[in-house]
Structure 1
Amino acid sequence: MSLGRREQFFVVITTFNRADYLADLLDSIAALSPAPDGVIVVNNASTDNTVSVIESATERFAALATPIPVIAHQLAENSGGAGGFSAGVERALAEGAQWMWLMDDDVTCVPGAIGAFGPWMDKYDAIVGRRYDAEGGPFFWQNNFNTFLGFPLPVHGDVFATSNEFATNVGCFEGMLLHTDATRSVGLPDPRFFLNWDDTIYGWQVSLQRPVMYVNEFVLHKARSQRSIDLGIRHLNDSSDLSRFYVMRNRGLVGQYLRVHGRFNRVGFALGTALTAAKELFRLVGVEKTLRGSGRLLAGWRESRAILAATDFEPMPPLEGKN
């Protein structure tokens, strides 16, 4: 990488029991040109052959014409995507990263992605690139977080019709690129989310201080096929009982963060929670053709109420001044 604003570019991956997908992702990282300055793989206590995949990649990356350090960060227990990214960002900062490209294990990188990011890295501290879906078409992602509802709303139309950049106010840890300045000012991703809403709220907090830019550069391929339904303004993919529980449970954390920033409206937030439940029920019926799993939505909602009622909530602290 060149010096200045573009140096010390690290890829940060969170993985759990998807060794085959992880192997494909690491293969795609080895093919990146220009190459990253380091790769951090947070292993969320996987029980498959993830460790051997990381060890093999470490040896292979060390033998490249331009060696790339691979740092395996092993967690003692599964802390979810939120905990994994929190640990990964913390480790990247400790390793001297200036840029952190965050991604799940079930994507692959477009070979020229880092170069495509380059011009935007000179202008912004928080960038989200575009993704191809598993079939090779553009994956729909264009949202803005509505603070009255505490809910991300899809943006209609082609946001790149007149410009190659679109200012959003949410994050997506499936490909979000963060400069250390943005991360230190907001703090680490909050591991209490475990799964769901963590990147939305993280991006929103960043957007309160500096631009979060969605750019017209395809940088990732989604590798895992999912059942989905096209609603025109967005796609709904299939989900899991674990995800259903946390999408409702974490409404409590979303509400607490809105309170911290003086944006919490009780009536609007209740409506946003109802919209969240309705979306998940529609996902169950429309995509998964069942109502099994609705009980996990109810269980998550009940837990969210206890979180929202807590009077001792503290957000993740900023890291300014910390090395």
Structure 2
Amino acid sequence: MYAVPDASPTPADPRGRIVAVVVTFDRLALLQRLLPVLLAEPRVAEVLVVDNASTDGTGAWLAGLGEPRVLSRTSAENTGGAGGFHDGMAWALERDADLIWLMDDDAVPLPGCLDLLLERDDLDFWGPAVVAEQDPQRRLCFPIRLPGRTRVVHDLADVEAAAVDGLIPGVVIPFNGVLVTRDLVERIGFPRAEFFIWGDDVEYLWRAERAGARIATVVAARFSNPATDDLGTPMMFGRTTYNHTPSELKHYCMARNNTVNLRTYRGAVFVLAFWVKTLWFYAFTRPRPARIATSARAALAGLRGDFTGHRRYLR
């Protein structure tokens, strides 16, 4: 049941106008869970919801909501998270946002998250520790590689132990409760809409790095997101990990977009290493010859600059 909290925005926040952007697709119940949490934040001036052509009644529900702090747009077609955040961030600038708070529909900021993030005034692109909804006190939702280390960590305790002045510098999980300044968006632009899903967030992070953005995770701030055991699957006798997904759509986009990102920001050696890992994973770790063929098609499409191939997997 959706209920509007008894909260109203402050007339003028010292950090400027804060606008939340939510991208949603066919998860009305989760959106109905998230919106009251955002509306209970008095520092959020508006919540902009980008509905990616949902078919579950989301558009009609949003149209009849009648909450002045919530604005919504329903896309003519599903443009994926990449297209949704591209359009949502552009919309936020049109709405005079000074800070944009980005998130998907299935996540929830935990109490105090935004206030803890806003305590930092020395960052351009920063976010909370993203914890697994199933075990928020101990487990990260997305495994991360800490600065200066080769090991990927999954436990919140490892992140807390590595924090410097409450931060993990240079590390953030993009589009999961992150804040980005208007100045940075105006300098580097919007996410690449053609990526559709998987890799658009990494590309935006690496683009921000290249532009000299100040990036960090605020460890005390927490953001809950449903976790999957497939991310960070160990391979090569535990020496590294691979982001496996059972979804053909997600894998195709990941293989294509990761090829593009690595070639653009890291170089040919990293592209080759990614291809070797993909071949090894689906030949030995989880043998699936058909997935190797899909990976090859996606990687070649990325090298050609063809961002249409994922459409065959849409339903």
Is 1:305 the equivalent of 2:300? yes
Match of residue 143 from structure 1: 144
Paired amino acid for 2:298? E
TM-score (norm 1): 0.76
DSSP-derived class of the 1:160 partner:
helix
Paired amino acid for 1:210? A
Shift of 1:90: 0.6
Q: Is the Cα contact below 8 Å between 1:43 and 1:72 reproduced in 2?
A: yes
Match of residue 224 from structure 2: 221
**Shift in CA distance, 303/225, structure 1 to aligned 2, threshold 3 Å:** closer
User: 10, 16, 24: which is aligned to 1:7?
Assistant: 16
Deviates most, 302-311 or 127-136: 302-311
Shift of 1:154: 3.0
Shift of 1:103: 0.6
Shift of 1:165: 0.4
DSSP-derived class of the 1:270 partner:
helix
Match of residue 55 from structure 1: 63
**Shift in CA distance, 96/276, structure 1 to aligned 2, threshold 3 Å:** farther
Paired amino acid for 1:78? N
Match of residue 128 from structure 2: 129
C-alpha deviations, 1:110-143, integer Å up to 9, x for none? 23222111111x1111002112312242442463
Between the aligned partners of 1:2 and 1:117, the Cα distance in structure 2 is: 20
Between the aligned partners of 2:282 and 2:179, the Cα distance in structure 1 is: 28
The equivalences for 1:1-323 within 5 A come to 3=12, 6-32=15-41, 34-56=42-64, 58-59=65-66, 61-62=67-68, 69-120=69-120, 122-137=121-136, 138-140=138-140, 141=142, 143=144, 154=152, 158-161=158-161, 162-163=163-164, 164-168=166-170, 171-208=173-210, 209-222=212-225, 224=226, 226-227=228-229, 239-258=246-265, 263-264=266-267, 266-276=268-278, 278=280, 285=286, 295-296=290-291, 298-309=293-304
Identity among equivalent pairs (%): 27
Match of residue 149 from structure 1: none
DSSP-derived class of the 1:184 partner:
helix
Q: Is the Cα contact below 8 Å between 1:171 and 1:202 reproduced in 2?
A: no
Shift of 1:98: 0.9
**Cα RMSD between the aligned structures?**
3.3
**Shift in CA distance, 40/188, structure 1 to aligned 2, threshold 3 Å:** same
TM-score (norm 2): 0.77
Paired amino acid for 1:200? V
Shift of 1:82: 0.5
Q: Is the Cα contact below 8 Å between 1:9 and 1:38 reproduced in 2?
A: yes
DSSP-derived class of the 2:38 partner:
helix
DSSP-derived class of the 1:250 partner:
helix
DSSP-derived class of the 1:158 partner:
helix
Q: Is the Cα contact below 8 Å between 2:114 and 2:221 reproduced in 1?
A: no
Q: Is the Cα contact below 8 Å between 2:244 and 2:251 reproduced in 1?
A: no
Shift of 1:3: 4.9
Q: Is the Cα contact below 8 Å between 1:99 and 1:180 reproduced in 2?
A: yes
Q: Is the Cα contact below 8 Å between 1:170 and 1:200 reproduced in 2?
A: no
Aligned residue pair count: 283
Q: Is the Cα contact below 8 Å between 1:132 and 1:218 reproduced in 2?
A: no
Paired amino acid for 2:274? G
**Shift in CA distance, 207/225, structure 1 to aligned 2, threshold 3 Å:** closer
Q: Is the Cα contact below 8 Å between 1:128 and 1:171 reproduced in 2?
A: yes
Paired amino acid for 1:154? V
Q: Is the Cα contact below 8 Å between 1:169 and 1:207 reproduced in 2?
A: no
Which structure's relative contact order is higher, taking Cα pairs within 8 Å and 6+ residues apart?
A: 1
Between the aligned partners of 1:170 and 1:301, the Cα distance in structure 2 is: 29
**Shift in CA distance, 12/38, structure 1 to aligned 2, threshold 3 Å:** same
Deviates most, 247-256 or 194-203: 247-256
Shift of 1:11: 0.8
Shift of 1:218: 3.0
Paired amino acid for 1:219? R
Shift of 1:237: 7.5
Between the aligned partners of 2:294 and 2:245, the Cα distance in structure 1 is: 19
Deviates most, 243-252 or 168-177: 168-177
Gaps of 5+ in 1: 63-68, 147-151, 286-290, 312-323
Paired amino acid for 1:75? S
Match of residue 5 from structure 2: none
Q: Is the Cα contact below 8 Å between 2:83 and 2:196 reproduced in 1?
A: yes
